[in-house]
Chains A and B, each alone.
Chain A
Amino acid sequence: MNGTAPPLQARGIGVTLGGVRVLDEVSIALPAGCWTAIVGPNGAGKSTLLSVLAGLRRPDHGQVSVGGDPIEALAARERARRIAWLAQQGEADGELAVREIVALGRLPHHGLFGAPGANDQRAIDLALEAAGATAFGRRRLGELSGGERQRALLARVLAVQAPVVLLDEPTTHLDAPHQRAVLCCITGLVRQHAAVAAVLHDLTLALAADRVVVMDQGRIRATGSPGDPALHAAIEAVFEQAIVIEPIGRTGVDGTAGTRWVAVPAP
């Protein structure tokens, strides 16, 4: 691992699916201790980009490197230890208890043939607590509400304790207090110097990030801090709608100093 290289970097990524250019020359770096929100209209290529960054989809061209190492050169377990990925909700289901699900996050550490040790159990407890899922740790995933399920799956990602965390729509199905809890989880990860990228549909939530990447038609249209007027203009352009983006407070999502922004369609 190269000490000066960003935890995750992609250069010139191109993906074509069914003859459609889904990603076109996308380059992005995820620095340590920084939360990057990725926004854009449906079909912009956000989830495809996240799966390429996670090493789950091989791009037609371009290069992804993890801590300076080419992602394809990493063994699957090593890659899994360095990058935690949360899928869009919908696939996960079943009879397993939440704690068993969260324990899967330790699989890259102890391996398929190993068993979780004391460190792993501690990581599982911490992850359940951080995601607010301790109370229903013994219930089956299939019995949970959408919000509880999402928190359980988020806890699974936190249990990996990876330096890079990629989240695909982590706030889906969550009510406002739990959306805030997810954002607090993310800021907690960032404080621990993780590089976090989250695809978000809710622009107000996205504007709580350290920086925002705006995508459209497989390309990155703008990257900037939440207060950047050029970023606001790009958001309006890609959504083809007038959007009012205003500062609403002087404290960040986790109560620390920082401006909060709200984005709503203009009347």
Chain B
Amino acid sequence: MRVKSGRDGGSTLRFALLLTAASAALLLAGLAAGSDGWSLAWTDEWMLVSEIRAPRSIGAWLAGALLGFAGAVAQGLFRNPLADPYLLGSAAGAGLGVVLVLAAGGAAGASIGLAAAGALLQAGLVGAAFAGALCGVGLTLLLARGAARPMSLLLCGVVVGVLLTALSDLVMLASPEAMRGKQIFLLGSTGFLGWTSTAVLAAVLAAVLPAAMRVSRALDALVLGEASARSLGVPLQQVRLLLVGTMAMATGAAVAQAGLIAFVGLVAPHLVRRCLSVAHGPQLALSAMAGGVLLLASDIAARTLVAPQELPVGVLTAVLGGIYLLALLHRRQA
């Protein structure tokens, strides 16, 4: 697609319509994709469609949207196109939360597997992952003494990631049964998404996206550099704190409900920027839509590629995302 300026509101609208159409088509495909192939006989299998495929498809789109949004915030905030939503310790925090709950559950943790999807919710793993992700980011903010210095924030995110992962390993050493549960939970899967998860994801997206879009001109101003942004009267410290908060909420919710989905948060904003030169406000919304499209498409592929078996969607997004970035790298070198 040709690169166009977002000032041409028409091109932004066309791109948004394209993503909407892709989302709608993929949602229909998601409703039709089953373990035994494609089926449009929805009246015959209404329960299956309404209770499993529909929440899973909508939930996958929402989880992808949260990751795409969080990736766009991270890349704008840190002025780094390689920034991803997990870099402030949310992934390691979610992992530790899951491991602690599993270890506390003792032998019960060993019984948690893919088939025990409902049990995951009951065991409070979703809540633990969400709380762990928020605590990870909170610890990063604490160590960096706020969000005023992006470089300190990044470095503290790395430190917190390493520390919390080490703690997880330590807990798993003492309680090996927690290891399998953690691996399954954080492998990245949309298979556990029900209507409750979908409602939670939708509520978080409805909260964080408008909040971040309200202050998105601050991200535009940061393109000029920190000092120039301050010279324009932008209250950088407060804005950064708000944006880190929305990023943590979005990432925490997505990780808690769908595990660690790789690359969606990194690739979705890239895709938007490749297609459109647009300010951060629309970029956040379009990155969310692109993230939704990417994850839902990956979810459908994960369901159908080796049906009746299912691939973990996190593995698929990692492979596809890796290929995309490699292709991008080669194109730039050419």
B218, B220, B273, B277: which has the most chain A beta carbons within 10 Å?
B277
Which residue in chain A gives the minimum CB-CB distance to B276? A95
> Could you say which residues of chain B place their CB within 8 Å of the CB of A108?
232-233
> Could you say which residues of chain B place their CB within 8 Å of the CB of A21?
none
A240 on interface, CB distance cutoff 8 Å: no
> Could you say which residues of chain A place their CB within 8 Å of the CB of B214?
112-113
Q: How far is the CA of A80 from the CA of B218 in the complex (A)?
A: 14
Other-chain contact of B6, A55, A56, A92, A97 (Cβ < 8 Å): A97
B215 on interface, CB distance cutoff 8 Å: yes
Other-chain contact of B234, A54, A94, A107 (Cβ < 8 Å): A107
> Could you say which residues of chain B place their CB within 8 Å of the CB of A54?
231
Q: If the complex has contacts A87-B224, A91-B224, A97-B5, are A56 and B277 also in contact, measured as CB distance less than 8 A?
A: no
Is B223 touching A141 in the complex (CB atoms < 8 A)?
yes
Contact string, A142-153, partner B, CB cutoff 8 A, digits 1/0? 000000000001
Is A85 touching B5 in the complex (CB atoms < 8 A)?
no
Q: How far is the CA of A81 from the CA of B278 in the complex (A)?
A: 25
B6, B228, B231: which has the most chain A beta carbons within 10 Å?
B231
Is A92 touching B218 in the complex (CB atoms < 8 A)?
no
Interface residues of B in 266-293 (CB under 8 A from A): 273, 277-279
State the Cβ distance, A68 to closest chain B Cβ, in Å.
Answer: 20
B217 on interface, CB distance cutoff 8 Å: yes
Is B217 touching A80 in the complex (CB atoms < 8 A)?
no
> Could you say which residues of chain A place their CB within 8 Å of the CB of B227?
51, 56, 85, 87, 91
Interface size class of B (residues with CB under 8 A): 20 to 34
A83, A85, A96, A140: which has the most chain B beta carbons within 10 Å?
A96
Is B230 touching A104 in the complex (CB atoms < 8 A)?
no
Other-chain contact of A80, B6, B226, B233, B239 (Cβ < 8 Å): B233
Interface size class of A (residues with CB under 8 A): 35 or more
> Could you say which residues of chain A place their CB within 8 Å of the CB of B51?
none
Is A140 touching B215 in the complex (CB atoms < 8 A)?
no
> Could you say which residues of chain A place their CB within 8 Å of the CB of B215?
112-113
Is A104 touching B225 in the complex (CB atoms < 8 A)?
no
Is A92 touching B273 in the complex (CB atoms < 8 A)?
no
Which residue in chain B gives the minimum CB-CB distance to A81? B233
A93 on interface, CB distance cutoff 8 Å: yes
A76 on interface, CB distance cutoff 8 Å: yes
Interface residues of B in 194-220 (CB under 8 A from A): 214-215, 217-218, 220
Interface residues of A in 90-141 (CB under 8 A from B): 91-97, 99-101, 104-105, 107-108, 112-113, 137-141
B145 on interface, CB distance cutoff 8 Å: no
Interface residues of B in 219-263 (CB under 8 A from A): 220-221, 223-228, 230-235, 239
A77 on interface, CB distance cutoff 8 Å: yes
Q: How far is the CA of A107 from the CA of B223 in the complex (A)?
A: 14
Which residue in chain A gives the minimum CB-CB distance to B238? A112
A87, A137, A139: which has the most chain B beta carbons within 10 Å?
A87
CB pairs A–B below 8 angstroms (13 shown): A51-B227, A77-B233, A78-B233, A80-B231, A81-B233, A91-B228, A99-B7, A100-B6, A100-B220, A107-B234, A112-B218, A112-B235, A112-B239
Closest 4 pairs (CB-CB, A-B): A91-B225, A80-B233, A77-B233, A138-B5
Q: Given A96-B277, A99-B5, A140-B3, list of 10 further CB < 8 A pairs?
A: A77-B233, A80-B232, A87-B224, A92-B225, A94-B223, A95-B273, A100-B277, A104-B220, A138-B8, A139-B5
